[in-house]
A and B are shown apart, each in its own frame.
Chain A
Amino acid sequence: MISFEESMKLIKKYNLAIAKTYASLDFNELRKAFQKMEKPVILKVYSPDIIHKTDAGCLFSGIYTLSQLKDAYKKILRNAFSFNPNARIDAFILQESAKGIELIIGAKSDETFGKIILFGLGGIYTEIFEDVAIRVLPINEMQVESMIRQIRGFKILNGYRGKKYNLESLKELIMKVAWLFEKERIKEIDLNPVFLDEKEAKIVDWKFYR
């Protein structure tokens, strides 16, 4: 997994939309940022040694107050090192609470067919439904569209009980990720969850492997 700094470079270079994020190792810096952010927020760790943050007790959501933030910070620090005493911690990430439906966008090299991109229901639904569509790169916009329509969960994305989702923004994000994966020397990408609502698609958690 590449470092936090490197990951941010890639995100900026390809103009990938991410949830409002503030990163630092220093609690005072985090506190300053916290005061300016819309509540509640999420606090989590960015560490190449801690892949599943929730399982390791390194992600806290629903933080409204400064004392909650302080508490979360301490717990994460403790949990991270009890999970892995040698864990390299790149940053603490303070993030807005994204809204919408949780999706996954991924990319990897398949042994037989080469570079592929994956899209589907993400977050807690990832493993339960395994509802994903896969395409071999390169892809065009029409193929991205067919990919989105292919998953069973498309009925939700297409508007359900008055809820709407910005599919154009989702398509754009998938195209950008595909573009990045074709150009950069990256072995695998895991963007999960990506939140989609009526306004836009935003990456909440990202992992790039080299």
Chain B
Amino acid sequence: MMEKFFYPKSVAVIGASHEEKKIGHVVLKNLLEKFKGRVYPINPKTEPILGQKVYPSVLDVKEEIDLAIITVSALIVPKVLEECGKKGIKNVVIISSGFSETGSLEGKKAEEKIKEIAKNYGIRIIGPNTIGIFNSENGLDTTFFLEKDVKKPNKGNVSFLSQSGTVGILSLDILTKEGIGVAKLVSYGNAIDINESDLIEYFSRDEKTKVIAGFVESVRNGEKFLEVLKKNKKPIVLLKGGKTSFGARATSSHTSSLAGDYKVYSNVFKQFNVIEAETWDDLIDYLKILSTCKKANGKRLAIVTNAGGFGVLASDFAYKIGLELPEPSEKLKEELKKYLPFYASVKNPIDITADADIERYKNVLKVIDGSEEFDLLFVIILIQTPMLDEKLIEVLNDIKKPFAVCMSGSKADEIRKKIDKPIPIYDSPERAVKALKILTELKS
């Protein structure tokens, strides 16, 4: 059932518009440019749009339609949905807003109406009030944003679900900026049918998805949610919106006042192996490392740095959050000394000093990477020294252990823009170390 949402062979855009800035136009334009499948623009005004033949209704299309994207105003949604039903379309994304999210009685009624139609015809719905679906694999993109305004990510292994459309669209852009590849993204809006549990379930079985990420405000069906989480074997990171509850009722019992909504969510996440991102920054930081690294087998961290100060900050923070920084064995120290000047420190952090060149990084990283004494590797690079340039990045590509990199400043930013492979690079030592810790908490 869910497969047709992500891999349709043919798509109808209902409300495809002649006006360039209308949602119905942008959706059509994006699909025509990238989608590998047939596209049918639907509009009662049948002058061609972007050179395409326009059909007055889905009922006028002879071929089968796998997926319909509805962008018309809320008032007309019931009518076109009914037509979808008659045409035998089973999967529909309703982008249109003006339903229960308005808080109005009319909105609520309109939503009930479309639920009823969907039920009569056996139609599955994503939305309404959504940006819909993005699939990097086949170019299916119902988000109504143009490439010039929102960067769309490369193919990758992260799949993202978001109740909120704005978070959905921003994550596409920011994940792209941070070099994190995306498999699929869905914003599910008012979730009158497909909700977070359906999507997590689908992603947990989807071959292209390695990491599941999401922004969730509230869970609709708690029982199903827990069931799906129990079965899921993939790393899943969730950010909960609505952490403070203004509507908390005054209660006499301690249990009720302590077990507030967010606290229960946060504990449920722990119990069912969901990594909770407390902030938006955490979410992006965790996805960066989860999409590139495997689970760490232990907590022993090696820090390799050419910048003493950042090395200190990193080790302070690593201790604080419960990572271990063992000193290398005598044997390993001897090995390291071969590549280091006499004034370098071979304790941990391994300070390869500010005059380190690419060769020195390469040799030291190779020794640490091949050693059984550490589970995690953190590489700090003061890229601003005259000894270093972007060629150092190639060295990082060879690392096999779970690792993170800290490289910051304007020169670092310039270099990062040119990197085409996903590498977990962070601006600050603390953020990198926090992300590394996540790898020690994975179950599989």
Contact = CB atoms under 8 A, between A and B. Distances in A.
Interface of A: 51-52, 104, 106-108, 110-114, 116, 118, 120, 122, 126-127, 130, 132-136, 143, 146, 150, 188-190, 192, 207, 209
Contacts of A133: 267, 270
B255 A118 contact: yes
Given A113-B268, A136-B268, A190 B222 contact: no
A190 B255 contact: yes
Contact of B254 (A110, A116, A150, A190): A190
Contact of A114 (B223, B254, B271): B223
Contact of A134 (B218, B252, B254, B264): B264
A189 B264 CA distance: 16
A136 B254 contact: no
A112 B253 contact: no
A2 to B, nearest CB: 13
A118 B271 contact: no
A118 B252 contact: no
Nearest to A123: B254
Given A118-B259, A150-B270, A188 B222 contact: no
B2 interface: no
A143 B271 contact: yes
B105 interface: no
A53 B270 CA distance: 35
B399 interface: no
Interface in B158-206: none
12 contacts: A104-B258, A106-B254, A106-B259, A110-B259, A110-B264, A112-B225, A113-B219, A114-B222, A132-B263, A133-B270, A136-B271, A188-B256
Contact of A135 (B223, B253, B267): B267
A108 B271 contact: no
Contact of B267 (A52, A122, A134, A207): A134
Interface of B: 218-219, 222-223, 225-226, 252-259, 263-264, 267-268, 270-271
Contact of A116 (B223, B225, B257, B259): B259
Contacts of A107: 255
A126 B258 contact: yes
Smallest CB-CB A-B distances: 8 pairs: A106-B255, A134-B267, A112-B222, A113-B222, A51-B252, A190-B253, A190-B255, A132-B258
A127 B255 CA distance: 11
Contacts of A189: 255
A113 to B, nearest CB: 4
Contact of A130 (B219, B223, B258, B267): B258
A207 B256 CA distance: 12
Contact of A108 (B225, B252, B256): B256
B249 to A, nearest CB: 12
A108 B251 CA distance: 13
A151 B218 CA distance: 25
A113 B253 CA distance: 19
A209 B252 CA distance: 11
Given A136-B226, A136-B271, A113 B264 contact: yes
A103 to B, nearest CB: 11
B263 A134 contact: yes
Q: Which of A112, A146, A209 has the most CB of B within 10 A?
A: A112
A134 to B, nearest CB: 4
A132 B271 CA distance: 14
A136 to B, nearest CB: 6
Contacts of B268: 113, 134, 136
A143 to B, nearest CB: 7
A207 B271 CA distance: 26
Contacts of B254: 104, 106, 122, 126-127, 190, 192
A112 B252 CA distance: 21
A112 B267 contact: no
B251 to A, nearest CB: 9
Nearest to A108: B255
Contacts of B257: 127
A108 B259 contact: yes
A126 B256 CA distance: 12
A124 to B, nearest CB: 11
Given A106-B254, A108-B259, A134-B267, 5 more contacts: A108-B253, A114-B222, A116-B267, A188-B256, A190-B254
Contacts of A209: 253
A150 B271 CA distance: 11
Contacts of A150: 270
A106 B218 contact: no
A35 to B, nearest CB: 34
A188 B267 contact: no
Contacts of B263: 130, 132, 134
Contacts of B270: 133, 146, 150
Contacts of A116: 259, 264, 267
B253 A188 contact: yes
B282 to A, nearest CB: 19
Contacts of B259: 106, 108, 110, 116, 118, 132, 134
B353 to A, nearest CB: 39
Contacts of B256: 108, 188
Contacts of A135: 267, 271
Contacts of A188: 253, 255-256
A144 B351 CA distance: 43
